[in-house]
């Protein structure tokens, strides 16, 4: 094991996600979340939440590294990657995006969220800093347009806005959690699985998240995620 990995041990291993000491530190106040925390949050939502765990036919979660590879790859390889995800029979593809323009380096300064309504071929963009990630969203739109061999609409939603420069990753996580809860409470728990979830559904969801997502709730979720991970640490002596 390299010296750098020895000094940054794995604290939590959960399904396909790992969280190291350095990752956990990004959940401390005023830090920008890294890939591993978002991947863990998605994995935990997928496997431990009543909103999603029995609905693998509805949601597909794509990890940040895979989204980055789709964005930065040539069109042929991106198409092969999308085919490997096997999502066409599902309802929603969840894609966290950031503005990193490099393939192999950890970089970037802003996270936002794309939700693809698969049957409608509409990408809904939730950006907590207005239009900061428009270019990245359009890059992903282009990849899907090539994959589907037809137009894919991109809609910039009315998204709750962060009041600082570091909470974007938390907004991505919380919006996804709220989206899954919203669908569960309004449709899935009532045994109502729609053929298509149209724009009106997303309009209802946008109205709802403006009521429930606040700066305070984002700060609380940061604290809750940190406490959750600390409770799952493999070696309590670390």
CA atoms 79, 81, 86, 88: torsion sign: negative
CB atoms within 10 A of CB 78: 21
CB 85 within 8 A of CB 93: yes
Annotated active-site residue 168? The verdict is yes
Q: Which of 35, 99, 168, 180 is catalytic?
A: 168
Please identify which residue in the block is written with the tokens 């709750």.
160
Annotated active-site residue 180? The verdict is no
Annotated active-site residue 16? The verdict is no
d(CA 112, CA 67): 12
Q: Which of 127, 159, 167, 180 is catalytic?
A: 127
Q: Which of 99, 110, 159, 167 is catalytic?
A: 110
Token output for 106: 């950890």
Token output for 174: 């919380």
Q: Give the residue numbers annotated as catalytic, written as ranges.
A: 110, 127, 168
């Amino acid at each position: 094991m390299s010296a750098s990995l020895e000094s940054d041990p794995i604290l939590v291993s959960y399904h396909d996600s790992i969280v190291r000491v350095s990752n956990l530190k990004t959940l401390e106040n005023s830090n920008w979340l890294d890939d591993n925390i978002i991947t863990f949050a998605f994995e935990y939502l997928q496997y431990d939440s009543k909103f999603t765990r029995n609905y693998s036919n509805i949601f597909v979660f794509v990890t940040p590294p895979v989204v980055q590879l789709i964005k930065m790859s040539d069109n042929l390889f991106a198409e092969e990657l999308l085919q490997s995800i096997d999502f066409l029979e599902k309802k929603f593809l969840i894609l966290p995006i950031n503005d990193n323009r490099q393939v192999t380096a950890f970089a970037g300064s802003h996270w936002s969220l794309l939700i693809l309504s698969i049957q409608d071929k509409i990408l809904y963009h939730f950006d907590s800093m207005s239009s900061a990630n428009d270019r990245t969203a359009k890059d992903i739109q282009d990849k899907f347009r090539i994959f589907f061999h037809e137009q894919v609409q991109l809609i910039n939603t009315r998204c709750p806005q962060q009041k600082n420069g570091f909470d974007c990753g938390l907004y991505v996580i919380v919006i996804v959690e709220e989206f899954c809860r919203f669908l569960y409470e309004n449709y899935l728990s009532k045994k109502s699985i729609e053929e298509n979830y149209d724009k009106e559904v997303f309009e209802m969801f946008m109205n709802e998240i403006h009521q429930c997502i606040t700066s305070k709730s984002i700060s609380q979720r940061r604290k809750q995620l940190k406490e959750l991970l600390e409770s799952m640490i493999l070696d309590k002596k670390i």
